[in-house]
Amino acid sequence: MRTTLDLDEILLRDAMKWTGETTKTATINEALKQVIQSRKRIKLIEMAGKVKLDVDLNITRKRQ
């Protein structure tokens, strides 16, 4: 999908350096993936202790 963006060239160059990507498109795609992964991780951490699991660890361990 083609989109016109007004990007900060310094940030883009820095992102290219840190990601190792050689194109602007690849750099932006990688950055988007990283943002999504980071936000998902934060949401999972926020859920800690809020989800009730009915798991018997003794039974689970015997299966291995």
Rounded distance between C-alpha atoms, residue 2 and residue 23, angstroms = 15
The answer to whether residue 46 sits within a structural domain is yes
| pLDDT score of 49 | 83
| pLDDT score of 54 | 81
Q: What is the helix (H) or strand (E) element at residue 64, kind and residue range?
A: none
The answer to whether residue 2 sits within a structural domain is no
The answer to whether residue 3 sits within a structural domain is no
pTM: 0.70
Please name the residue that has the structure tokens 């016109």: 4
The answer to whether residue 26 sits within a structural domain is yes
Number of structural domains in the chain: 1
Q: How many CA atoms lie within 13 A of 53 on its CB side?
A: 7
The answer to whether residue 1 sits within a structural domain is no
The answer to whether residue 15 sits within a structural domain is yes
pLDDT tens, 7-53?
999 999 999 999 999 999 999 999 999 999 999 999 999 988 887 87
| pLDDT score of 64 | 54
pLDDT tens, 2-15?
999 999 999 999 99
Burial of 9 (0-12, 13-18, 19+ CB in 10 A): exposed
